[in-house]
Structure 1
Amino acid sequence: MVAFHSSALDGVAANPALPTPLLLRLIAFDGGGHGPPFQALHRPGLPEPAVAAVLTHPVLNARVRFAMSGQAEPEQRARLADDPSPKVRAAVANGPEWTRDPRTKVRPLPDAVCGRLLEDPEPSVRSALLHSPHLAPSFLASLARHPDPAARRAALRVWDELTADGRATLLDDPDPEVRRSAALCACSHDARLTAALLRDPAALPEALRRGLLDRADAERFLAEGVHLVELAGNPSLPADLVDRLAVDPDDGVRLAVSLRPELTEARRAAIDFTVALRARGDVDWVAVGIADQEVLRRAAASAHPLLRRAAARSPHLPPDLLRLLAEDADVVVRTHLAVYHPDTPAEVLMSVYARLGGTFSAWMATGHPRFPREGLAARYADHPDGIYRQLAVRDPAAGPDLIERLSHDPDVRTRQAAARDPRLPLPCLLEALALPELAFSAGANPALPPGEMAVVLDEAGVPG
């Protein structure tokens, strides 16, 4: 009998062909007090018997992991909202920490469930909920008059969706932090609020960045030389003061000026600024207009690399701008396209894949809808670089002989890709289960016979 490596169990737990009876065996496993494998709890589309088993699992960690699963439906996770453990309820409240696809948004819990969690007797549960990035705007808006000031602060995250009465209530809130945060939300259209915030050290930098500035205040801060980066980005800054900051000795200040939306391309190009090699392109006015075609056209056609990087993060680019940015010489622009745009050309995906390598490229090769498949075996099976030889496994025309050869490739990631491929001959697949670096991939291979999966569970001590 072959002695399988321990990580084969995790692979079997992730295997998409795992039969329900074996899945239920895994779900019930206590794992020496650690619970079943992570992969069993984070599988997409868990059948109801498996979900029911998780909800009453005696190992706390199993319920926590499922509560944080990005693969579970929110209605399934919500069934743990009344769990006896506050750790589980906090995990439900916070929601998933990661998803398989970085472009995927997690569906929020139902508002009624969030309401129950917000009334939880444990502060950790309430805090986890209010800090969750997965709350529905409707629920956040409902918190504007909640008795807990932390909840009212959370309502400010959807300021633009609040009623005028709700905004006025928060601007007059009895809690000073709520009032300050509400004022910062409103100050871009209110000079009086801005002037008051400028006297508050805690609010000063943000008020300078976004508030409706009085000219005298703007001149005062420019003369004092403090918070000039924030001042340089303020939309209401008079044009002559913008010109003065455009030649400031601080490169960061000049860079902030160069990103202002009202500048012509000629004016932008006249500013001496430096862009960091890997800067993402966090530009407020482009982010706000991420679906606005006029905004995207201005940013994508700009000579400023940070504006093009910001535009490349939009999944709403029309075909002509997508083609324009796909030919951009800036590697960050092309990387953003590969991550965020579903129609990124195959040649861009390939270039980003080769440049980045590692886990990110593995995700892109398996998860991007436009990543090429056909013809990869002929092009890359004998490529000197292992990161390309991995791609040969993706080719639907690759035969069992090639997959077997690649399962013995010098490059470990290539061997792992081959070990996970259902075309790998069964004797080689069983051999891979015993190898530490291949056991997980072999266990996850959908061609692994159910009988062999059961053997892996038996050897790992999973009760029958």
Structure 2
Amino acid sequence: MVAFHASALDGVARNPALPTPLLLRMLAFGADSGRPPRDVLHRAGLPESAVALILAHPNPGVRIDFAMSARAEPAQRARLADDPSPKVRAALAFGPEVYVPRAEIAPLSDAVCARLLDDPDHSVRAALLESPHLAPPFVASMATHHRSAARREAVRAWQALSASEQSALLADPDPEVRRVAELQECRRDARVTADLLRDPKSAAEALRRGLLDRAGAERCIAERTHLAYLAENPSLPADLVDRLAVDPDEAVRLTVSLRPELDETRRMAIDFTAGDLDRGDGVWWVRVGLANPEVMRRAATSAHPLLQRAAARSPHLPPDLLRLLARVEDPVVENLLGIHHPDTPEEVLMRVFARLGGTFSAWMAETHPRFPREGLATRYANHPDGNYRRLAVRDPAATPELIERLSHDPVVWTRQAAARDPRLPFHRLREALLVSDLASSAGANPALPEDEMAAVLDRAGVPA
């Protein structure tokens, strides 16, 4: 009997050339007790006939997978809002779990979100409020909702709320809603800040963002209370900033060095140490200004490594700032540019590829619009490192003979890249379907004929 590896079915499930009849056959698989491969549920552009099968599938796990598909259209997923299973509705409410930079998820419509927010099951309502995919106007609309949990989340859209809505939240009957609203209002109200400082649960955050009077700030310095938070406070008087800039606590000095109002001379005069792996994620004024040209220019042109790293996360950097950061000899800056900026220079991408290796490098090579392709076969087909030999497969000029040779490479990632390539000779493609570590890649090869895909389904026991 011919050996068969179930992973071949997973490969066929994500094959971009999978014809609709076989797609429907896979979706119907397991209607009694099992389930089709997950990848078939997460395909982009599913036809209506496929969506209908998924929505009616008796296995709720299948519907959950589709509810969390990052490739499905929001209107398609929204049809699960009336699903009988609260687990399915909760999965829909939370939305796709996306860990890939540059991926954008379109939110569900406000009408569907409103229905899920009033779902009779608590888990569905909680999942919606925890979702990272809610549209900002919908978040703001929850300010007057009858559920306190929704009003609490609406505080995130504080600047978009009307004065009357803000006032209502500050006087909300729920103490937790009032607390989070006061943490927003304290930016402009010293009295609210003073009240929050008496609450241990809120004191640190109030010190970080609240409007402080001088007496309160001096008292905190004298008592050394949450000094690293205080050092970030925008209302801190200049002379107290100077005092904290020479504080014996290294974390306090580092925080002061990142304040937005400092000029470059004053900033770099502070004795601070930036961690080798610190990406600058905590620099709030850069984080919220990634699309602001003025903020990006101030951060990118600074000699402070954490400001440079924070700016490198912006996909909106203009060409001159991108070139400037690409010349910074900082691996973290290069990594962040490679992850986030679509125009990162090729030489930077290649250095990131060499440094990081493994799965991340493969993702970047396959998805970054500027990652090189031409000439890679000549440069890397015989490279001693298999991570580089894999790059030869990307070259449009790579011959079928080279692709076949690389499908026998000692390094599994290189073999798999070759097995997915449509230039792989057919006889080797059929062989690869029967090799355990190549079966999935071969099944995903768009050159795999329809009859071969059907044979994979047959061997996997998928009913016709």
Q: Which residue of 2 aligns with 1:169?
A: 168
2:155 is equivalent to residue 185 of structure 1: no
Give 3-state SS (helix, strand or coil) of 1:107's partner: coil
Deviation per CA, 1:93-133, whole angstroms, max 9, x where unpaired?
A: 0000126x421221110111111111111100010011111
The CA deviation string for residues 409-446 of structure 1, in whole angstroms up to 9 with x for no partner, is 11110000000000000111111111111111011000
Q: Is 2:416 aligned against 1:416?
A: yes
Question: TM-score, with normalisation over the residues of structure 1?
Answer: 0.98
Gaps of 5+ in 1: none
CA contact 1:26–1:462 (8 Å) conserved in 2: yes
- Quote the Cα distance in structure 2 between the aligned partners of 1:442 and 1:436: 10
**2:57 — aligned with what?**
57
How far 1:34 sits from its partner (Å)? Answer: 4.2
Distance in structure 2 (CA, Å) of the matches to 1:456 and 1:33 = 21
Q: What are the within-5 Å matches in structure 2 for residues 315-354 of structure 1?
A: 315-354=315-354
Query: Does structure 1 retain, via aligned residues, the 8 Å contact 2:31–2:58?
Result: no
List per-residue Cα deviations over 1:361-408 (Å, max 9, x = no partner).
111111111111111000110111111111100000001000000000
Task: Specify the alignment match of 1:286 in structure 2.
Answer: 286
Q: Which amino acid aligns with 1:244?
A: R
Task: Tell me which residue corresponds to 1:140.
Answer: 139
Aligned equivalent of 1:361: 361
Residue 271 (1) aligns with residue 267 (2)? no
The percent of aligned pairs where both chains have the same amino acid is 70
- Counterparts of 2:216 and 2:104, CA distance in 1: 41
Distance 1:395 1:159 in 2: 50
TM-superposition CA deviations, 1:47-92 (whole Å, max 9, x none)? 1110110000011110000000001111010000100000000000
Paired with 2:165 and 2:346, the residues of 1 have a C-alpha distance of 48
Residue matched to 1:225 = 224
What is the root-mean-square deviation of aligned Cα atoms in Å? 1.2
Q: CA deviation at 1:32?
A: 8.0
Say if 2:82 and 2:89, in contact at 8 Å, map to a contact too: yes
Distance 1:3 1:410 in 2: 22
Instruction: Quote the residue 2:93 is aligned against.
Output: 93
Matched residue SS, 1:125: helix
Residues 34 and 61 in structure 1, CA contact (< 8 A), matched pair in contact too: no
**Contact 1:357 1:387 (C-alpha < 8 Å) held by counterparts:** yes
**Residues in 1 aligned to 2:327 and 2:45: alpha-carbon distance in whole angstroms:** 39
Q: Is the 8 A contact 1:373 1:395 kept in 2?
A: yes
Could you say which residue in structure 2 is the equivalent of 1:444? 444
Contact 2:32-2:58 at 8 Å conserved across structures: no
Residue 40 of structure 1 corresponds to: 40
Q: Secondary structure at the match of 1:188?
A: coil
Separation in structure 2 between the aligned mates of residue 34 and residue 206 of structure 1, nearest angstrom: 49
| Length, aligned pairs only | 463
What is the CA-CA distance between 1:33 and the residue it aligns to? 3.4
| 1:425 aligned residue | 425
SS at match of 1:97: coil
Q: What is the deviation of 1:202?
A: 0.9
Give the Cα separation in 2 of the matches to 1:32 and 1:233.
59
Residue in 2 that maps onto 1:122: 121
Distance of aligned partners of 1:40 and 1:216 in 2 relative to their CA distance in 1, 3 Å threshold: same
Q: Is the 8 A contact 1:406 1:418 kept in 2?
A: yes
Runs of 4+ more than 4 Å apart: none
Which whole-Å CA distance do the structure 2 matches of 1:401 and 1:361 have between them?
25
Please give the TM-score of this superposition, normalised by the length of structure 2.
Answer: 0.98
Deviation at 1:360, TM superposition (A): 1.5
TM-fit CA distance, 1:2: 4.0
User: What is the rounded CA distance, in whole Å, between the counterparts of 2:451 and 2:30 in structure 1?
Assistant: 22
Tell which deviates more after alignment, 302-311 or 190-199.
190-199
CA contact (8 A) 1:34 1:62 kept: no
Q: For each residue in 1:12-53, what CA deviation from the matched residue of structure 2 results, as whole angstroms up to 9, or x when unmatched? A: 001000010000011111188341101000011111110110
Q: Residues of 2 paired with 1:113 and 1:75: CA distance?
A: 9
The answer as to whether partners of 2:158 and 2:184 remain within 8 angstroms in 1 is yes
Match of 2:381 in 1: 381
Deviation at 1:175, TM superposition (A): 0.8
**In the TM superposition, what is the alpha-carbon distance from 1:462 to its structure 2 partner?**
0.6
1:207-251, Cα deviation, whole Å (9 max, x unpaired): 000011111110111111121110011111111111111122211
Offset from partner CA, 1:263-290 (integer Å, 9 cap, x none):
1212111211111111111210111221
Amino acid at match of 1:369: P
User: Residue 244 of structure 2 contacts residue 256 of structure 2 at CA under 8 Å; is this kept in 1?
Assistant: yes
Which residue identity does 2:172 align to in structure 1? D
**In structure 1, distance between residues paired with 2:155 and 2:102:** 25
Give the alignment of 1:281-320 within 5 angstroms: 281-282=280-281, 283-320=283-320
In the other structure, the counterpart of 2:67 is 67
